[in-house]
Structure 1
């Protein structure tokens, strides 16, 4: 059986959420592969070309939404690229009990709270 590959879009200040998501999936034995392209290089055409290829290797993108995610140009670009490639997308509000502004391009109906059952359920539709 094929297992979903998901691109994770996030701001570096929320990398704890990326790490937590990966760790939970590993502990729950969810057979999901997570890919990201953390910005360590400049946000330029070279980065965009490499990121575009990483997104193309996945079934969709999970956007981790923290307090300042909506201000991130790279996150906005990753959302746009995901949609242009016709891939699945959903967002996760990473802080319990808080609702942060959404980055441009992600529909509000595709945003969920941090709930591993819902996350797994959404990912299971990507195979």
Structure 2
């Protein structure tokens, strides 16, 4: 079996439940990824950004849960930009079946 990948999940706080569902998927023993909660549950400031950047650097890539809330989520936008600055691949996954919001610069799949 291939080595599992560590991913950072970027999401708008309004989509926290969808993030939890993704975490549940990783508990499947056949899952190709390992879910390590790299989220920083602190105020959005310089210290938060430093901690997020460190965690993104330690990840193999970033999954961005995309919804209409992504368009106004300054934290998620910053996480995606940071991942790109660090040379990490970013894959968008639509958070809801009835929401096909596009975020510029993020390839998004079902």
Normalised by the size of structure 1, how large is the TM-score?
A: 0.76
Question: Aligned partners of 2:38 and 2:12: how far apart in 1?
Answer: 11
How many residues matched? 108
Within 5 A, what are the aligned runs for 1:34-53? Answer: 34=35, 35-38=37-40, 40-53=41-54
Considering only aligned residues, what root-mean-square deviation do their CA atoms show, in Å? 1.7
SS state of the match for residue 79, structure 1?
helix
Alignment partner, residue 30 of structure 1: 31
For structure 1, the 5+ residue unaligned runs are 114-127
CA distance in 2, matches of 1:20, 1:28: 15
Give per-residue Cα distances to partners, 1:30-68, cap 9 Å, x unaligned.
142233314x32211100011111101101110001221
Q: What aligned pairs does 1:1-127 form with structure 2 within 5 A after superposition?
A: 1-27=2-28, 29-34=30-35, 35-38=37-40, 40-102=41-103, 104=104, 106-107=105-106, 110-113=107-110
TM-score (norm 2): 0.87
